[in-house]
Amino acid sequence: GENVEQHPSTLSVQEGDSAVIKCTYSDSASNYFPWYKQELGKRPQLIIDIRSNVGEKKDQRIAVTLNKTAKHFSLHITETQPEDSAVYFCAATPGGDNAGNMLTFGGGTRLMVKP
Amino acid sequence: DTEVTQTPKHLVMGMTNKKSLKCEQHMGHRAMYWYKQKAKKPPELMFVYSYEKLSINESVPSRFSPECPNSSLLNLHLHALQPEDSALYLCASSQDGTSDTQYFGPGTRLTVL
CA-based nearest residue in chain A for residue B58: A102
Position A96 scores a pLDDT of 57
Residue to test with chain A: of B37, B99, B100, most A Cβ within 10 A: B99
A94 touching B (Cβ < 8 Å) = no
Per-residue pLDDT reduced to its tens digit, B52-69: 999 888 889 999 999 999
* Cis? peptide before A94, omega within 30° of 0: no
Per-residue pLDDT reduced to its tens digit, A82-104: 999 999 999 998 765 555 578 89
Position A23 scores a pLDDT of 98
Element (H, E) at B66: strand B64-70
| Share of residues in chain B with pLDDT > 70 (%) | 97
Position A99 scores a pLDDT of 54
Per-residue pLDDT reduced to its tens digit, B32-48: 999 999 999 999 999 99
Mean pLDDT of B25-29: 93
Contacts of residue B91, Cβ cutoff 8 Å, sequence gap at least 6: B4, B6, B21, B23, B32, B33, B34, B35, B74, B104, B105, B107
Nearest to B34 by CA among B12, B11, B14, B4: B4
Taking 50 as the pLDDT cut, the residues of chain A under it are none
